[in-house]
Amino acid sequence: MINKLLVANRGEIAIRIIRSAQELGIKTVAIYEETDRFALHIMKADEAVCIGPGPRKDYLDIDRIIHAAKETGADAVHPGYGFLSENPNFPTKCREAGLIFVGPPSDIIWNMGSKVIARKIMQSVGVPLIPGTENLPPGNDGEQKAVEFAEQHGFPIMIKAVSGGGGRGIRVVNSMEELLKGLKLARSEARISFGNEDIYLEKGINRPRHVEVQILADNSGNVIHMGTRDCSIQRRHQKLIEIAPSALPPLVEENICEAAVRAAKAAGYVNAGTVEFLVDEENNFYFLEVNTRIQVEHTVTEMVTGIDIVREQLLIAAGETLSFKQEDISIRGCAIELRINAEDPKQGFIPCPGLIEVYQSPGGHGIRLDGAVYQGYEIPRFYDSLIVKLTVYGFNWQEAVDRLRRALDGFNIVGVKTTIPFYKAIVEEEDFKKRRFDTSYIDSHPELLSYKEKEEEIDKLAKLIAEINAHGYNPHTL
* 218/222 Cα distance (integer angstroms): 6
CATH of the domain at 98: 3.40.50.20
Rg (the chain; Cα; Å): 23
Residues of the domain holding 146:
131-203
What phi, psi does 444 have (nearest 5°)? -90, 0
Q: In this model, does residue 475 exceed pLDDT 90?
A: no
For residues 189 and 145, membership in a common domain is answered with yes
For residues 96 and 174, membership in a common domain is answered with no
For residues 315 and 371, membership in a common domain is answered with yes
**Structure confidence at residue 458 as a pLDDT band (50, 70, 90):** low
101 - beta bridge partners? Answer: 77
For residues 215 and 190, membership in a common domain is answered with no
Domain assignment present for 46: yes
The answer to whether 385 and 353 have CB atoms below 8 angstroms apart is yes
Show which of 203, 221, 246 is a domain's final residue: 203
For residues 411 and 310, membership in a common domain is answered with yes
Q: Tell me how long the chain is.
A: 478
Q: In this model, does residue 455 exceed pLDDT 80?
A: no
Domain assignment present for 115: no
The C-alpha angle 142, 147, 148, rounded to 5 degrees, equals 100
Active site residues: 293
- Mean predicted confidence (pLDDT) in 282-305: 96
CATH of the domain at 136: 3.30.1490.20
Domain assignment present for 126: no
For residues 97 and 139, membership in a common domain is answered with no
For residues 421 and 272, membership in a common domain is answered with yes
Domain assignment present for 294: yes
For residues 195 and 217, membership in a common domain is answered with no
**Structure confidence at residue 470 as a pLDDT band (50, 70, 90):** confident
For residues 354 and 266, membership in a common domain is answered with yes
CATH of the domain at 378: 3.30.470.20
Distance of CA 436 to the CA centre of its chain: 22
Show which of 59, 84, 102 is a domain's final residue: 102
**Structure confidence at residue 459 as a pLDDT band (50, 70, 90):** low
129 - beta bridge partners? Answer: 287
- Mean predicted confidence (pLDDT) in 84-94: 96
Distance of CA 199 to the CA centre of its chain: 23
* 37/298 Cα distance (integer angstroms): 27
Summarize pLDDT for 377-429 with one digit per residue, the tens: 999 999 999 999 999 999 999 999 999 999 999 999 999 999 999 999 999 99
For residues 226 and 317, membership in a common domain is answered with yes
* 10/4 Cα distance (integer angstroms): 17
For residues 246 and 339, membership in a common domain is answered with yes
Domain assignment present for 221: yes
Domain assignment present for 462: no
Domain assignment present for 114: no
Q: Give the model's pLDDT for residue 101.
A: 98
Q: In this model, does residue 476 exceed pLDDT 60?
A: no
Q: How buried is 344 (Cβ within 10 angstroms: 0-12 exposed, 13-18 middle, 19+ buried)?
A: middle
Show which of 175, 203, 231 is a domain's final residue: 203
Q: In this model, does residue 49 exceed pLDDT 70?
A: yes
What is the tally of structural domains in the chain?
A: 3
Q: What is the pTM of this model?
A: 0.88
Q: Give the model's pLDDT for residue 236.
A: 86
* 339/12 Cα distance (integer angstroms): 11
Q: Using H for helix, E for strand and C for coil, what is the string for the chain? A: CCCEEEECCCHHHHHHHHHHHHHCCCEEEEEEEHHHCCCHHHHHCCEEEEEECCCCCHHHCHHHHHHHHHHHCCCEEECCCCHHHHCCHHHHHHHHCCCEECCCCHHHHHHHHCHHHHHHHHHHCCCCECCECCCCCCCHHHHHHHHHHHHHHCCCEEEEECCCCCCCCEEEECCHHHHHHHHHHHHHHHHHHHCCCCEEEEECCCCCEEEEEEEEECCCCCEEEEEEEECCCEECCEECEEEECCCCCHHHHHHHHHHHHHHHHHCCCCEEEEEEEEECCCCCEEEEEEECCCCCCHHHHHHHHCCCHHHHHHHHHCCCCCCCCHHHCCCCCEEEEEEEECEEHHHCCEECCEECCEEECCCCCCEEEEECCCCCCEECCCCCCEEEEEEEEECCHHHHHHHHHHHHHCCEEECCCCCHHHHHHHHCCHHHHCCCCCCCCCCCCHHHHHCCCCHHHHHHHHHHHHHHHHHCCCHHHC
Q: In this model, does residue 460 exceed pLDDT 80?
A: no
Q: In this model, does residue 478 exceed pLDDT 60?
A: no
Summarize pLDDT for 91-123 with one digit per residue, the tens: 999 999 999 999 999 999 999 988 889 989 999
For residues 339 and 288, membership in a common domain is answered with yes
Domain assignment present for 440: yes
For residue 204, what are the contacts with CB-CB under 8 A and spacing of at least 6?
Answer: 155, 156, 157, 158, 172
